Amino acid sequence: MLLCEYPFPDTNGTHTYGNITWFKTDNDTITFIGLNTSSFYDEQIFAIAHEIYHYTTKSGKAYTPEIDYEDKVTEKQADRFAAELLLPAEALKDAVMNAFGSSNMRDVSDNRVLRFIARIQCDWWLPFQAIINRLFEEGYINVNQYDKLYAIDCRNEDGIYRKLLKNIDSEISELLNKKTKTVGVSNRVIETIISNYEDGLIDEDEFVRTLAMFEKEPEDYGLCMDAEIDDELKDFFESGDD
């Protein structure tokens, strides 16, 4: 399984966090997890865990191409898997018990609950909403608390939650709320691209253009050539942040 990172823009008001692409060769099945790095960093972490579920269970649209949309039940299962992978139930139970002395958070003040969630996020790096879901699914908070917490804008720099998060750990707060815009791909893919060029399977122009997709140049790998990226391709990669 290979990771491909790229800051894909939103399309028609929709935002893709990640996906799986796979194909078979004569000797192998190659699987890519595509990660949208225009998402916030905590969302990127969750997206990878979500796609790992699809990869391990061979479920979802990538493995059932005849369907037009992802199945809601399967997506819910993938989200639950990701949340459990990133914050196991026993670890959450221990944190709740240590913080409150019992598994009952239903009579706790809103501010104290938010401080607890902020500490959990700093320790486990889940998105804010995913932590709320975990607390509700495990029965630690009631539906009224769930609705009230879910309505909070956790990204608002001037909001109470971001202030709490910053005061617990300012560096983690900044990292988790950053859109990294990373462009990259697993080294195995780059090596394959280079090999394909050296073996004559792709020409010089295609080689340069393919490396440019990952912000790489032939010179980075000790290869010198005169081919240049055309203006249209440059405009494509330099257009817009989101």
* C-alpha–C-alpha distance, residues 77 and 209, integer Å: 38
Q: What residue ranges do the domains of the chain occupy?
A: 87-176, 186-238
Residue 233 has pLDDT above 60, yes or no: no
Average of pLDDT values for 111-118?
97
Q: What percent of the chain has pLDDT over 70?
A: 93
Top mean pLDDT of 62-71, 160-169, 194-203 is at: 160-169
Average of pLDDT values for 99-115?
94
Residue 226 has pLDDT above 70, yes or no: no
Residue 120 has pLDDT above 80, yes or no: yes
* C-alpha–C-alpha distance, residues 237 and 213, integer Å: 8
Top mean pLDDT of 54-63, 158-167, 177-186 is at: 158-167
- What is the value of pTM for the model shown? 0.81
Pairing of strands 29-36, 184-185: unpaired
Task: Say what the alpha-carbon torsion angle 132, 133, 137, 139 is, to the nearest 10 degrees.
Answer: 10
Average of pLDDT values for 226-241?
50
At residue 180 the predicted structure's pLDDT band, cuts being 50, 70 and 90, is: very high
